[in-house]
Chains A and B, each alone.
Chain A
């Protein structure tokens, strides 16, 4: 049962063939069985999930129509989304034991859609990282090879779906945190257009870049989940007040395998030095596949993409230095050193020292530096200008092609511990994914096969609000390529 797609499970639950409680229990059992090898979950909410499942079953028994196309299909939620009364840690020690008094909009939409939430998944602390090694609660392991990273920051969500602990998951993507874990675990990961999914209740890392999106094993499953979580939210000022692109329809249309009339641009900047040969080979094969499906393929140069990584590593830390200021031990979170002698200022410093890990501290300091008077123009200001250049490159490219493609990440999953002492090497994992965040465009990763026995991802990018375009191309490619997860070793 746990190997079925979300679409299949939904159909069978709604038809009364299987119960949501059974499906949910099967996944809870799977978590019990394999998660000590993976550490994908930080918190499992069996009671909450089963209660939600029972409600769906009751509706089915009463002959009521399902509240959503995914009603009854369980899901794993990245621990960066607030859940009322359910622990939310963001992978940080500072929030250990915190029970939010409110639900994120995404959480609320999932509940309203009858989606049982199995639990909260592991992540790099406050979503800062590309390997999930920066979690205060230990790294998550890649189910393809447990000595390797599952990507990050949303490694928990991707590992959970790759290992059949959950058919669906929610991730968040600031610089690639949905797509890169998707690529290295052989799953589908989508970063919707910025503003497409509400950020209310998503604990902010970098406000102008963060975007929640679906993680799934198939393109159609991702589209079904995308439709549930997307849409305008008056609680988020940056939420787009426009109809959600019809991604489910696009995924279904794409599944017929015909890309005639679709123009695909290959980004020339994303190859060469630093790219693993197997990744490049897999990408080449994927491009050929798209051509075979009828797409017209051209090469497109986006020269300013070379500056995306440095711009990102100024903008994201700057925003995070401010966003994370609220974790000061005054209203919530870990407090240390409050012995009656020390001042509030001392307790803030001591608590933040104890509550944050090294990567978070590094980024807070980088951001503090970049925003300081005297440095602002050269750093933050220039990075914002680079953002303009990147947006212009995208706009020019999308005048010529419908979608852009590249490898999702330059290499397959690396070994745990391999890059922890070299921040710059770690940052390279997001080389190809960052431009779409800076421009606020849509982008996704679909499995494009294996290199040296490990999954590789194909990144498909589309203009803002044209998320449906990439779903169509991804579904067509998926139908031709076939499932990659069939080859995952048993845990």
Chain B
């Protein structure tokens, strides 16, 4: 069995070492068809039903580039503030593996379509870090293997494997960062924040589903440590299978503590591929390679070069939507939010919902408060995304309006919202069905107030003696008696009137 590696305490790691990160993210494009053939680009499906001679690598078949795949690559490059190559090519990356039908991957090598850019990434406290982008290049995905036999269903110990090439040839964009240095203890957080920001960017561009759970976004994390004060990078490891935002952070943190333990004990880091273990957040070494990789790259002779004209690139630039950070800035300015409020708004994923609630007539402050606080809590208890809560911005706006006109107290409003979330219908229906109107008839209230005063003569004495704050006990009793349907402010007024 694999021995659990020793790790160093995180704070101790940072006393001695500076982490250096490099992130490689593969994004599957959501084009209609694959990169080099007309097969449908869809997730799943009966095995080997979205295949053709080209993506099966049959003898004689040839690739033809998908125009929209190239357009998406250029748009991604532009959104990442990259230079777009005036001329670039595909190359063949030669290596044998059964999930790759041609035994070479059609990829870009020394001539990527986009290079030298950056992405501004907001951390949890609102600080913005600029991550350099080395390159964004086009390539194709592999097929999928199913390992049969053996205990775990994994590759090791399997008796044989079954291959489905539906995914083979799906367009991928590989986005590679420049080394991310100087982040200190925030390195794991930066890694997560970067992937999060990249994910938001892809969504805004509409180029990918970026479902990490389905593999349409995959992250490989290169991590190395260098002793404090050193200028040369240490040996890095590449951790694969990091397939959730949280895992990115965990994997980086774990590798830092593991590498530090090795280095502290005078050992050296092996340059290797490591696998992230979702269960315990550790990484484990892959199989050592017998021979060093030699991919024998050369220009793909079955494809011709791509030479995007200026006009084309400008046209594509014109199709870029408002990008996430631009939107963030705009909303902060328009709504007059502090950095902290802006951060909470976006971290909870509430921005769109708040905007829609405001569109439905609610004031910004109330809309924000409902979504960022109460509804976010509700989503968290249900373990779903905020947007998945079964309540619409229009319904939230209606609740806010009912509070404003005095029909609902805040407490009643929450009850109404619970009713909506429980599927009882619109706020007005919930109010009618549950009888949640505020009791605003003074005569009905006075009866309850008198009853409460009679029950607590000592309190009445205190109030009469000038201890106005003691009125709270009576108000509480009245609210209880009216099952919360009374307007507490009015009750308090009536109590004080009676005790004069």
Contact = CB atoms under 8 A, between A and B. Distances in A.
A3 to B, nearest CB: 33
A236 interface: yes
Contact of A200 (B62, B94, B161): B62
A319 interface: yes
B465 interface: no
A460 B385 CA distance: 72
B96 A202 contact: no
Nearest to A344: B98
Contact of B103 (A234, A236, A325): A325
Contact of A330 (B61, B98, B297, B302): B98
Nearest to B38: A235
A252 B14 CA distance: 84
Contacts of B56: 331
Contacts of B96: 325, 328, 345, 348
Given A325-B102, A328-B103, A340-B159, A237 B304 contact: yes
Interface of chain A: mostly helix, strand, loop or mixed = loop
Chain B CB count within 10 A is highest, among A101, A326, A371, for A326
A95 B59 contact: yes
A332 B58 contact: yes
B101 A201 contact: no
Contacts of A202: 60
A238 B60 contact: no
Interface stretch (A203-211, A243-251, A287-295, A420-428): A203-211
A203 B59 contact: yes
B47 interface: no
A235 B62 contact: yes
Nearest to B53: A102
Contacts of A328: 96, 98, 103
Contacts of A237: 62-65, 302-304
Interface string B91-129: 010101010011110000000000000000000000000
Interface in B47-71: 53, 56-65
B94 A325 contact: yes
B299 to A, nearest CB: 9
B298 interface: yes
Given A102-B53, A237-B65, A344-B98, A88 B304 contact: no
A271 interface: no
B64 A234 contact: yes
A202 B59 CA distance: 8
B296 interface: yes
A236 B56 CA distance: 16
A254 B97 CA distance: 54
A82 B298 contact: no
B266 interface: no
A90 B435 CA distance: 83
Contacts of A373: 294, 296
Given A102-B53, A331-B56, A322 B298 contact: yes
A318 interface: yes
B385 to A, nearest CB: 41
Contact of B64 (A208, A235, A345): A235
Contacts of B62: 199-200, 235-237
A368 B296 contact: yes
Contacts of B65: 237
A108 B272 CA distance: 49
B244 to A, nearest CB: 30
Nearest to B300: A207
Interface size on B, as a range, is 20 to 34
Given A238-B304, A325-B102, A331-B101, A200 B61 contact: yes
A101 B58 contact: yes
Contact of B92 (A236, A322, A345, A376): A322
A373 B297 CA distance: 9
Contacts of B53: 100-102, 201
B163 interface: yes
B301 interface: yes
A200 B59 CA distance: 10
Contacts of A88: 59
Contacts of B301: 206-208, 238, 319
A228 interface: no
B54 to A, nearest CB: 8
Nearest to A349: B96
A201 B161 CA distance: 29
A342 to B, nearest CB: 11
B61 A331 contact: no
A371 to B, nearest CB: 4
Chain A CB count within 10 A is highest, among B53, B57, B298, for B298
Contact of B161 (A95, A319, A344): A344
Contacts of A204: 59-60, 302
A100 B59 contact: yes
Chain A CB count within 10 A is highest, among B53, B64, B103, B301, for B301
A238 B296 contact: no
Interface string B297-333: 1100111100000000000000000000000000000
A99 to B, nearest CB: 11
A292 B449 CA distance: 129
Nearest to A238: B304
Contacts of B297: 371
A313 interface: no
Chain B CB count within 10 A is highest, among A90, A95, A100, A234, for A100
A34 B302 CA distance: 39
A77 to B, nearest CB: 13
A372 interface: yes
A201 B61 contact: yes
Interface in A450-474: none
B182 to A, nearest CB: 32
A256 B70 CA distance: 51
Nearest to B145: A344
A319 B304 CA distance: 15
A322 B60 contact: no
A83 B101 CA distance: 20
A380 interface: yes
Interface string A190-204: 000000000111111
Contacts of A380: 298
Chain B CB count within 10 A is highest, among A90, A234, A344, for A344
A81 B59 CA distance: 9
A373 B103 CA distance: 18
Nearest to A348: B96
A104 interface: yes
Contact of B59 (A90, A235, A238, A340): A90
A100 B61 CA distance: 11
B298 A371 contact: yes
Chain A CB count within 10 A is highest, among B60, B98, B163, for B60
Nearest to B103: A325
A331 B103 CA distance: 11
Contacts of A199: 62
Chain B CB count within 10 A is highest, among A81, A204, A330, for A330
Nearest to A315: B301
Contact of B57 (A98, A100, A326): A326
B94 A371 contact: yes
Contacts of A340: 159-160
Given A100-B59, A199-B62, A326 B102 contact: yes
Given A203-B60, A332-B58, A371-B296, 7 more contacts: A82-B59, A100-B58, A234-B64, A238-B303, A322-B94, A373-B296, A376-B298
26 contacts: A88-B59, A98-B59, A102-B58, A200-B60, A200-B62, A207-B302, A208-B301, A234-B64, A236-B64, A237-B64, A237-B303, A238-B303, A318-B298, A322-B94, A322-B296, A322-B298, A325-B103, A326-B59, A326-B101, A326-B103, A328-B96, A331-B57, A331-B58, A340-B159, A371-B296, A372-B294
Interface of B: 53, 56-65, 92, 94, 96, 98, 101-104, 159-161, 163, 294, 296-298, 301-304
